[in-house]
Structure 1
Amino acid sequence: MLTSSRQRALLATLALAAGRLVSIDALARGVWGETPPAHIRGSLQTYVMRLRRLCGEDVVVTEPEGYRLVVDPSRVDALRFLRALDQAAATSDPAQRRALLTAALATWGGTPLEGVGSPALAAEWEPLLTERHLFAVEQRIDLDTGLVPDARLVAELTDLVAQHPLRESLWERLVRALARSGRRAEALARYAGLRALLADELGVEPGEDLRR
Structure 2
Amino acid sequence: MVSSFVWRLASGELVRDLEDSHLHAGVAELLPEALGRISSDGRTFILVEIDMGRVVGVTNGVTTRPGDSIVYAQRPGRPGLTRFVLNREPEPCRYVRVALTWVDEEYKILTAYIGRASELEPADSMAKFSTSYGFWKDFALLWGFEPVVSCTRQDARADHPEAVTCPHCGQRTLWYAVAACIACSRLGCQYCLVNQANQRTGKIVRWHVRCGYSC
Asked if TM exceeds 0.5, the reply is no
- Find the structure with the greater CA-based Rg: 1
Quick check: which one's strand share is greater? 2
Hey, which of these two has a bigger chunk of helix by percent? Answer: 1
